Amino acid sequence: MADAPKTSGMTRLRNYFLTGFVVCAPLAITAYIAWSFIGWVDSWVKPYIPARYSPDSYLPFPVPGFGLIVALILITLIGFLTANIVGRAIVNFGERLLGRMPLVRGIYGSLKQIFETVLSNKGDMFRQVGLVEYPRKGVWSLVFVASEKETEINQKLDQEGDPLIAVFMPCTPNPTTGFLMYVPKSDIVPLDMTIEDGAKLIVSAGLVAPEVKQMVVVNGEPIEGTLANPSVAALAQPARKSRTASSRPNK
């Protein structure tokens, strides 16, 4: 009996530690990644900044992020210059020069197409999350469904009444790698979760699952809740009681 309070106290300390770890770990990792990215950009940009324009020459300590600010300004300025006729002419001339280099033109063309697809056509990347029965029957894999576009693959493998749709099946825990597959539309089970929720599910290896929305009927009125928080009806119970009490006639 004397050891019970000690065990209970250790359990509380362990729970406090785990709670603090859950709060601090994401903040620390996010700060580390942001700080590393800023330092990486500074290490690339700062050596090309003249000493008279760099604040590091006048201060006893380096200014983190100055190289990142300069890089953002230069990229914006290049985009502004490229938007006019003279800038487009210079860019086209540079691309023609790169097009004559056998190895460089393939790398540059692929990278340019990827960045244009990601940054310029965000709405055309992935439009839905779905499930595909893979790698065998009874086993389901999460996929990102691309927009339905007519391609040579669709024409060569034309299936009447069941068009082929390009889906990307990412790998866990790195969603940037995976497999591109063309699957019949009838074999895809669409999901209501967003692309962000699907990415979280893949990165966390299924540990961070999105909440499932459901409709809870309270007093004949549908209220949207979640299976992760199914107490919507319980929260609405006091309001229902007060409404019932107010509707009763006073004696």
Residues shown for the chain: 251
pLDDT digits (tens, 9 = 90+) for 196-240: 888 888 888 887 777 766 555 555 565 555 544 444 344 444 444
CA distance 181 to 162: 15
Contacts 24+ apart (CB under 8 A), 199-208: 199/170, 199/175, 201/142, 202/142, 202/170, 202/171, 202/172, 202/173, 202/175, 203/172, 203/173, 203/174, 203/175, 204/173, 205/172, 205/173, 206/172
Could you state, in order of their start, the residue ranges of all structural domains in the chain?
123-203, 213-247
Q: Which amino acid is at 97?
A: L
Determine the pLDDT at residue 232: 36
What does pTM read for this prediction?
Answer: 0.56
Determine the pLDDT at residue 240: 46
Look at residue 250 and tell me whether its pLDDT is greater than 80: no
What proportion of the chain, given as a percentage, has pLDDT over 90? 17
| Other CB atoms within 10 Å distance of the CB of residue 145 | 21
Q: Are 153 and 143 in contact (CB under 8 A)?
A: no
pLDDT digits (tens, 9 = 90+) for 113-156: 777 766 665 545 678 899 999 888 889 999 998 866 777 777 77
CA distance 45 to 55: 13
CA distance 108 to 129: 31
SS3 for 156-212, per residue?
HCCCCCCCEEEEEEECCCCCCCEEEEEEEHHHEEECCCCHHHHHHHHHCCCCCCCCC
Look at residue 68 and tell me whether its pLDDT is greater than 60: yes
Pure H helices in the chain: 4-45, 66-82, 85-99, 102-120, 152-156, 195-203, 232-247
| Other CB atoms within 10 Å distance of the CB of residue 84 | 9
